[in-house]
């Protein structure tokens, strides 16, 4: 079968998923349908509907788009069957019921932003950086019942530099993901797929999960040590952003997001969360084995700024502490 004859249904929602879809369209593959999340209500009263990045791209290319509220809805399933897909591809979408992933004759494969079986879950890029990993990657695998557990088709390894934040790693994986999706489709077309059971890889190592990240997940623990705080900040930067509370006297604490830091390992006798600053150029926060030097941050109600700008506008910072 030629690639132009292979009927593909593509499923995805965020920007991360656009690159792979774009590569398929520009590569001449036949994408007969795109499944994405319903438009998201935006604005003060939810009166403006915001289409997903995948929908925006699909519409710009004249592709058929389906946006089911529920993936087991009979009308949606009938529309999906009518597309007569040979293969389904999932990139950053949602958990599929078996009636969906088992529909095409060649199966359904997923692109996941980790080296499976490591970092199964909703936030694999964030957790790899938070945990100080020096390497991550992307994996294609066939879907089965348990989430992110199907047999691996292919993987690409990607180094994580000590200065990389999650945005940098995200961009690397997004572009390499487009390459890997096309490579995987070609292998399936040519009948050259040799899968590896994840259980085979999982038996040899301790697995790290990648659960969904909530606001409270992003709160900094100043007792954790300089390296862990540093990795935590870059693993959540620029979004959703690590945060702490700035306390000053009897005033209500202010939420403080931190985007960029440096590690300063030095002995001290200060309580973790204590602030050391010259009130002009540097702003350091004590941890157990040194200081976290803050380079850029955002105070509640303000814009993101460099630390020197923050110090010019925030008086009495030397009498404050964070926790």
- Residues 321 and 318: their CA atoms lie apart, in Å, by 8
Structure tokens at 113: 């932003």
16 φ, ψ (degrees, to nearest 5): -55, -35
Cis, bond preceding 235 (omega within 30 deg of 0):
no
- Asked whether the beta carbons of 109 and 140 are under 8 A apart, the reply is yes
- Asked whether the beta carbons of 15 and 36 are under 8 A apart, the reply is no
Distance of CA 114 to the CA centre of its chain: 10
CA dihedral sign of residues 148, 184, 168, 300: negative
Count the neighbouring beta carbons within 10 Å of the beta carbon of residue 276.
Answer: 15
Cis, bond preceding 240 (omega within 30 deg of 0):
yes
Q: Is 274 annotated as a binding residue?
A: no
Q: Is 117 annotated as a binding residue?
A: yes
Count the neighbouring beta carbons within 10 Å of the beta carbon of residue 217.
Answer: 16
Q: Is 173 annotated as a binding residue?
A: no
Cis, bond preceding 238 (omega within 30 deg of 0):
yes
- Asked whether the beta carbons of 257 and 298 are under 8 A apart, the reply is yes
Q: Which residues contact 26 (CB under 8 A, 6 or more apart)?
A: none
User: Could you tell me if residue 132 is left (phi over 0), alpha (psi between -120 and 50 degrees) or otherwise beta?
Assistant: left
85 φ, ψ (degrees, to nearest 5): -70, 140
Q: Is 60 annotated as a binding residue?
A: no
- Asked whether the beta carbons of 23 and 182 are under 8 A apart, the reply is yes
Q: Which residues contact 204 (CB under 8 A, 6 or more apart)?
A: none
> Which residues does the annotation place in the binding site for (6S)-5,6,7,8-tetrahydrofolate?
114-117
Binding site feature residues: 114-117
């Amino acid at each position: 079968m030629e690639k132009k004859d292979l009927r593909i249904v593509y499923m995805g929602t965020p920007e991360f998923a656009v690159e792979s879809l774009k590569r398929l369209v520009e590569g001449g593959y036949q994408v007969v349908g795109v499944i994405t999340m319903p438009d998201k209500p935006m604005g003060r009263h939810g009166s403006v509907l915001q289409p997903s990045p995948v929908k925006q791209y699909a519409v710009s290319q004249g592709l058929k788009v389906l946006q089911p509220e529920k993936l087991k809805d009979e009308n949606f399933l009938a529309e999906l069957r009518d597309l007569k897909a040979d293969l389904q591809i999932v990139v950053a979408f949602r958990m599929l019921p078996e009636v969906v992933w088992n529909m095409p004759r060649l199966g359904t494969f997923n692109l996941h932003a980790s080296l499976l079986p490591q970092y199964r879950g909703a936030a694999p890029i964030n957790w790899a950086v938070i945990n100080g990993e020096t390497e991550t990657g992307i994996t294609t695998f066939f879907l089965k019942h348990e989430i992110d557990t199907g047999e691996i088709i292919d993987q690409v390894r990607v180094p994580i530099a000590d200065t990389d934040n999650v945005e940098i790693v995200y961009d690397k994986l997004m572009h390499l993901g487009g390459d890997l999706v096309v490579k995987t489709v070609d292998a399936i077309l040519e009948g050259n797929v040799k899968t590896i059971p994840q259980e085979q890889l999982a038996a040899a190592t301790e697995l790290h999960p990648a659960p969904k990240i909530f606001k409270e997940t992003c709160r900094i623990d100043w007792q954790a040590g300089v390296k862990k705080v540093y990795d935590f900040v870059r693993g959540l930067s620029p979004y959703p952003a690590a945060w702490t509370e700035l306390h000053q006297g009897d005033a209500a604490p202010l939420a403080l997001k931190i985007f960029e830091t440096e590690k300063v390992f030095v002995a001290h006798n200060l309580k973790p969360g204590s602030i050391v600053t010259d009130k002009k150029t540097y702003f350091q926060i004590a941890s157990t084995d040194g200081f976290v030097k803050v380079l850029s941050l955002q105070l509640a109600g303000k814009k993101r700024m460099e630390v020197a700008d923050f110090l010019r506008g925030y008086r009495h910072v030397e009498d404050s502490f964070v926790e």
